[in-house]
Chain A
Amino acid sequence: MALVKGKIGELTDRDTGKPERNCEQLAAALESADAGGRRHAARAIGSCPGAAAVLVARLKSEQDLAVREAILHTLLRLRDPSVASGLAAYLRSEDAALRNEVIETMKRLGAEVAPVLRLLLSDPDPDVRIFAVNILDSERYPEVESRLIEVIEHDPHVNVCATAVDLLCEAGTEAARDPLVRLKARFPTEAYIQFAADLALKRIREI
């Protein structure tokens, strides 16, 4: 045997997702027993009306990692305003892996996530507020610093503030200086808060 010139394979129907499949069939395929089929459906269904809602709903029961990724990837592409609030519901999920994937996806949503984040940042559950602060850590979101400052000025929970200070170590400017000093005064016995706030202040010093 030997080295044989490689070939690109022939497309199978499943690979192309059968272009003639209609939206109803795709929605059904999304529930099929075959993970590969669900994955392809998750990608193809993007152009169907109401795709966002169907995909968001499917996340609830989808256990296969690759299918979840395909669903989230399609949702990202859709730029549908309902995606942000639809995904936000999963921040309360018991499934830590799903929560983290949703956080990563929401980080990439861009400006349309802002109104949803506002709500999440005042959620009664401190863990949800922590996730919301995490989502603020986005490269495309220049108002991040104002939101982070609001958190360290007003949030009662030490871990929510801790998450915000961590982000200010990279994103902080002069505007954060006084709020950081006040935060230190608010949690004088919390070693991590003192450490992180000092670091953030140090990093602001040079302009």
Chain B
Amino acid sequence: MTAASSSQEPGPCITTEDFLKFREFFYRRTGISFEPSKRYFVDKRLVERIEATRTGNFRAYFTLLRFQASGEEIEQLTNLMTVNETYFLREEYQFKCLVESILPEIVRRRTSSTPIRIWCIPSSSGEEPYSVAMYLLETWSGIREWDVEILSSDIDTGILRRAKSGRYSARSVQYVPPRWLAKYFKSVGDEYQLSDDLRQAVEFTRVNLAEPGDTLDYRNFDVIFCRNLLIYFDDRSRQTAAETFYEALNPGGYVCLGHSESMSRISSLFEVRKFPEAIVYRKRLEAK
């Protein structure tokens, strides 16, 4: 299992025990478990990081991973080990869950007609909040009776600008049903421009979720989407994020995490709820 680097020295070697040690560590941190069939995938990336960090061998690299206070290397490595594409209607089953299970329940309990508030964080280049908007308009009958506010936040102002501009590649819209594509997008060269109506339906803000001071104003949300972000956070930031979500939600409000993510690695503040479409997390009804 050696990676050849120069002609003189063999590259760092990842033994089976190394792989197993790493697998346990990564599973504990992220809930992602690598099957033995993923040996090549994992080894290749470990070697890449061993070389990038100049640690020389797996043992030294593993020590760095475990002891580095900044958590930078864990973040880099996690990035490498996970699939990070963003596109419209990614993990669509959660939007289905929103419309078919979550919103009906929220609406049923509502005693006032204040708007339903949804927070999508991180916004990244906007595919997610705009997907929520489209999905609601196209599939939720309740949109006729209820106002919905969609907020979306990111730490990176550059990407927020991109999100506001609403310009996307063909790759990004590849899973959008043709009827929706025709209705909400205009083709511009080989790209697609989102309609002004939809662009204006989402409020974009800059937020650092690991900074409690940034989110004092975020309150009275019914649903939070936080997909594929917390997996990169260290324990302390994950906890801060969980507390932030707890404060941000109404009692009975919901959090949706990414497909491979789970509150089991993040916080015990939320109840686990299973709907036909997805497992989601709820702030207790009796909570304040």
B287 touches A35 (CB 8 A): yes
Determine the residue in chain B with the shortest Cβ distance to A35.
B288
Q: List 6 A-B contacts (CB under 8 A).
A: A1-B146, A5-B200, A11-B216, A39-B247, A70-B243, A202-B17
A206 touches B143 (CB 8 A): no
Residue B203 at the chain A interface, CB threshold 8 Å: yes
Interface residues of A (CB under 8 A from B): 1-11, 15-16, 34-36, 39, 43, 65-66, 69-70, 73, 76, 101, 108, 139-140, 142, 169-170, 202-203, 205-207
Determine the residue in chain A with the shortest Cβ distance to B144.
A1
A206 touches B219 (CB 8 A): no
A140 touches B69 (CB 8 A): yes
Knowing A69-B243, A69-B267, the reply to whether A6 touches B117 (Cβ < 8 A) is yes
Inside 8 A of B201's CB, which chain A residues have their CB?
3-5
Complex alpha-carbon distance, A8 and B115, angstroms = 12
Determine the residue in chain A with the shortest Cβ distance to B239.
A73
Knowing A73-B243, A206-B17, A207-B59, the reply to whether A4 touches B148 (Cβ < 8 A) is yes
Q: Which 6 A-B pairs have the closest CB atoms?
A: A6-B149, A36-B288, A3-B201, A6-B151, A6-B203, A8-B217
Complex alpha-carbon distance, A39 and B205, angstroms = 26
A4 touches B115 (CB 8 A): yes
Residue B79 at the chain A interface, CB threshold 8 Å: no
Inside 8 A of B185's CB, which chain A residues have their CB?
none
Determine the residue in chain B with the shortest Cβ distance to A171.
B66
Interface residues of B (CB under 8 A from A): 15, 17-18, 21, 24-25, 59, 66-67, 69, 115, 117-118, 133, 136-137, 143-151, 198, 200-203, 205, 212, 216-220, 235-236, 239-240, 243, 246-247, 267-269, 287-288
A16 touches B150 (CB 8 A): no
B239 touches A8 (CB 8 A): no
A1 touches B67 (CB 8 A): no
Inside 8 A of B219's CB, which chain A residues have their CB?
9, 15
Taking a contact as CB atoms closer than 8 A, the residue among B18, B212, B218 that contacts A8 in the complex is B218
Known: A8-B218, A16-B216. 20 other contacts (CB 8 A): A1-B143, A1-B147, A3-B149, A3-B201, A5-B202, A6-B117, A8-B205, A9-B218, A9-B219, A9-B220, A10-B217, A34-B288, A36-B288, A65-B268, A66-B269, A69-B239, A70-B243, A101-B268, A108-B236, A206-B59
